[in-house]
Amino acid sequence: MPDKVVVLSGSGLSAESGLPTFRGAAGLWREHSWMELASPEGWRKHPQLVLEFYNERRAKAWAAEPNAAHRAIAELEKHFDVAVITQNVDNLHERAGSTRVLHLHGELGFARGTGPGRKRYRIDGAPIELGQTCEEGTQLRPDIVWFGEETRHMEEAAGHVSAADKILVVGTSLSVYPAASLVEYARPRIEKILNSLEMDSVPRGFEFLPGQATVIVPRLTARWSGCRA
């Protein structure tokens, strides 16, 4: 069996594809209020505003291209058993070629109704308009996990992390829970790398590699893959 590699990614991975992060100087939550745009309360108060915000993000994400770091992560599948666990709602991992991707916070490319049914509809880059309904007749909303809603795939993700032989955490401030708690499932003696531009605190046992993902990640994955040769 090939070694198992787990990648846990965040918005910094897509920053060099032109998509904004959340908390940096130019972060989305500096300019916009997450309470208004990423919560069930905000959706009840002004759905039009929420739809516009996600329609714009979806359009930008669909116009963006995967970068060298996304591609290097996809290439790992040639050498390892790879699971990508992402907080990102874009589809740049998939478009780079990664085949096993768990989206903890939902996906821009899907919509769902607002009733009890949880059926998802693939919309890709298309906008969701007010008045557009699902089969049950309820308003369509982005299939995104908002604050106060349940993070997806946590059990499966924790299983991957606890079985990993190598872990790469990339482009996340690890400030949103429960996603950030996944690093705690890593076994003590495996190689654990964290790449971001800066980090307030690095989880125990992780080696911090500061710098741009498009530089650091291909270098790291080349080393890991070379070790297998």
* Closest separation in Å from C-beta 225 to ligand OAD: 20
Contact present, 10 and 213 (Cβ < 8 Å): no
4/23 with CB nearer ligand OAD: 23
* Closest separation in Å from C-beta 34 to ligand OAD: 6
* Closest separation in Å from C-beta 102 to ligand OAD: 13
68/163 with CB nearer ligand OAD: 68
Please give the positions annotated as active site.
Answer: 105
Summarize as ranges the residues that interact with ligand OAD (CB under 6 A): 10-12, 15-16, 21-24, 27, 34, 38, 87, 105, 145, 171-173, 175-176, 195-199, 212-213
Nearest residue to 125 via CA among 146, 139, 110, 113 = 110
- In the chain, beta strands by DSSP E: 4-9, 81-86, 101-103, 106-112, 120-122, 141-144, 166-170, 191-196, 207-210
Task: Please state the three-class secondary structure of 109-143 as a single string.
Answer: EEEECCCCCCCEEECCCCCCCCCCECCCCCECEEE
15/83 with CB nearer ligand OAD: 15
**DSSP 3-state of 63:** helix
Residue with the closest Cβ to ligand OAD? 12
189 φ/ψ angles, rounded to the nearest 5 degrees: -95, 10
Cα-Cα-Cα-Cα dihedral sign, residues 199, 204, 206, 207: positive
* Closest separation in Å from C-beta 121 to ligand OAD: 20
57/160 with CB nearer ligand OAD: 57
Question: Measured between alpha carbons, how far apart are the two ends of the chain, in Å?
Answer: 15
